Amino acid sequence: MTVRRGEAIGRAFIAGPALMAGYGMVRLVGRAVSDYGPGVWWTVAHVLSLAGLLAFVRVLLGLRRTAGVRGGKRVAVEAATWAGLLGAAALVVQAVIDLAVGFLTVDKPAMSDMFGRVQDMPGVMPLVYTVMPMLFWLGLLALVTLLAFLRRDVVRGWAPVLVLTGIVLAAMSLDLLAVGAVCLGTALLPMRRGLPEGGERLGRPQGRPGAARSADQSFSETAQ
């Protein structure tokens, strides 16, 4: 069971950015061929978005397991992880709302009206659309940056720069989301080799970084 969980987390490092890029591409095509309102393009795009966010939950947990530290450093890793998870939860709620509104409306004016009513509810804007979602990106960036210092054998110094670039591109415009996702995927993909192969429960510390390095070296020798 633990081995399968580890494999699932490893696949999430590929699936998360890929699904995010898919959302960005489908959104671009939908806007090019239609008014991108209720319909197939909207639904497919937001299903991909939701699936990508769920994959990134596993990515955050995988990065947490990779840290392999205790004490004060562990507190920083936990804080970054939980910030990312809270932000991811807000974005998941946002994606579910988007899908529901798409299903319940028949045209773009009706969609805008329903979104307005939802967003006018007390607390919805900061919790789902503005403040809380930012924690996902900040948590992800903080985790990768921490690992660039704590696990230099797994996370290279350029990884946080690529993650920041991806986040900035996505923040600038959703039209650039696919490019941003490529940056995230390029940064995250090499980190898969730092994931424990098994013997750890999901979300538990991986153990000593030295032990992980030995496992990495064995993996490299086997691959050669």
Output the pLDDT for position 111.
Answer: 95
Q: Are 27 and 174 in contact (CB under 8 A)?
A: yes
Q: What is the DSSP code (8-state) at residue 129?
A: I
Reported as a single tens digit per residue, the pLDDT across 111-156 is: 999 999 999 999 999 999 999 999 999 999 999 999 999 998 889 8
Mind listing the pLDDT tens digit for each residue in 180-218?
A: 999 999 999 999 887 866 534 444 444 444 443 433 443
* All residues at 6 or more sequence positions from 175 whose CB lies less than 8 Å from its CB, including other chains: 24, 27, 28
- Residues 81-90: what's their mean pLDDT? 98
pLDDT attached to residue 6: 65
Stated pTM of the model: 0.83
Is 7's pLDDT higher than 60?
A: yes
Q: Which of 43-52, 99-108, 213-222 has the lowest mean pLDDT?
A: 213-222
| Between 215 and 168, residue with greater pLDDT | 168
Closest CA to 158 of 148, 146, 171: 148
Q: Using CB atoms within 10 A of its CB, is residue 40 exposed (0-12), middle (13-18) or buried (19+)?
A: exposed
Q: What is the mean pLDDT of residues 39-51?
A: 97
| Residue of 167, 197, 172 lying closest to 183 (CA atoms) | 167
Q: CA angle at residue 180 from 177 to 181, to 5 degrees? A: 85
pLDDT of residue 20: 98
Query: Could you tell me the end-to-end alpha-carbon distance of the chain, in angstroms, rounded to an integer?
Result: 28
Residue 173: per-residue pLDDT = 94
